Amino acid sequence: MSAIGKLKAVVMAAAIAVALRVAGPTAPVFAGAGFVEVDAVAIDREGRHVYDLAPDDFELKEDSHVAPILAVDEVSTNRAPYVDEDRLMALVLDDVGVGQAGTAGMQGIARAFLAGSRERDSVAVLHVSRHENELMFGHLSDALIHIRNYSARGGVVFDEDTFVNWLKTVADISRQFGDATARRKAIVAIGTPALLDPVEPADQSRGGLWPRWLEAITNTARVNAALYVIDPSGFAGSMQPGRRGLAEQTGGLRFSTLNLRGVFEQIWEDVHHYYVVSYVPLTPKRFHRISVSAKKRGVRVRARQIRGE
């Protein structure tokens, strides 16, 4: 492409950028999109959210190459100037790894989490051992009914089929997210982290785990949905050294703490304040590795870290 052609492309992209939103460390780029937008959360060393960042405070790389940022939107529903937008939240309760004695406790935790929701939030509550098409987004009253109907059963062997079913659930939730108009989306899974936050399969050549992993990770990327995993027992689940779980790769977090109130506040803050960084892909490949970082000292950007193929 000539220099004039490149300039025209940038001008056209800049015009589109009025509708763009951006942000975050690593996401796949889909061919033909014209531009890419990624949600990102900026935090300081103490884990507090950082406000008032400008486009010059971010750097974006595509496949390790610096790419020009078209626009950066700061979206905040909790400080002026307020943005009144719809949000989608899928709350998944683990009835597979939690024994029957944990039913009441899980119900209480779920209700406490939803206390942080707002009028324009659409919430769906489902179980890990769900039925097809169980997910239905609605009002808080609908979610509370699903919580009341939750019953832990435990006693399930964590074999490949169990993980495959969970990854399919994540993919299905993200697919339903894509049918909605809400901008901000999150999946909050409460229960056994060894199941809810699996690491990327080491062997991609055998079994049905890898295709389901790829489907879950790409579906969440398409709709900018982050996964948050909460272990309410306060004991950290095992994870292979150097391996990142599904939560981190989607731009979410994995919590293992008894301070559930602090966890809930952090998740809702992520949902209600974030940045959107937009740019035009440098190359027409189907997937790219994108990294967004903050130039400002002491600020970290959290977003998805995804490897496509």
pLDDT of the residue at 118: 81
93 forms beta bridges with 127, 190
pLDDT of the residue at 9: 38
- The H helix count followed by the E strand count for the chain is 8, 12
Query: Do residues 30 and 70 both lie within one domain?
Result: yes
27 forms beta bridges with none
Query: Do residues 41 and 165 both lie within one domain?
Result: no
Do the beta carbons of residue 22 and residue 277 sit within 8 Å? Answer: yes
pLDDT of the residue at 84: 66
Mean of pLDDT values over 245-253: 91
Structure tokens at 196: 């809810």
Confidence of residue 239 (pLDDT cuts 50, 70, 90): very low
Structure tokens at 66: 């610096």
Do the beta carbons of residue 194 and residue 154 sit within 8 Å? Answer: no
Query: Do residues 39 and 167 both lie within one domain?
Result: no
Query: Do residues 283 and 240 both lie within one domain?
Result: no
Q: What is the pTM of this model?
A: 0.82
Query: Do residues 252 and 136 both lie within one domain?
Result: yes
Residue 23 Cα distances to 195, 289, 298, angstroms: 28, 14, 17
Is residue 309, in this structure, part of any structural domain at all? Answer: no
Beta-carbon contacts of residue 240 (< 8 Å; ≥ 6 apart): 199
pLDDT of the residue at 71: 92
The span from the CA of 222 to the CA of 178, in Å, is 8
Which structural domain range is residue 196 located in?
Answer: 87-272
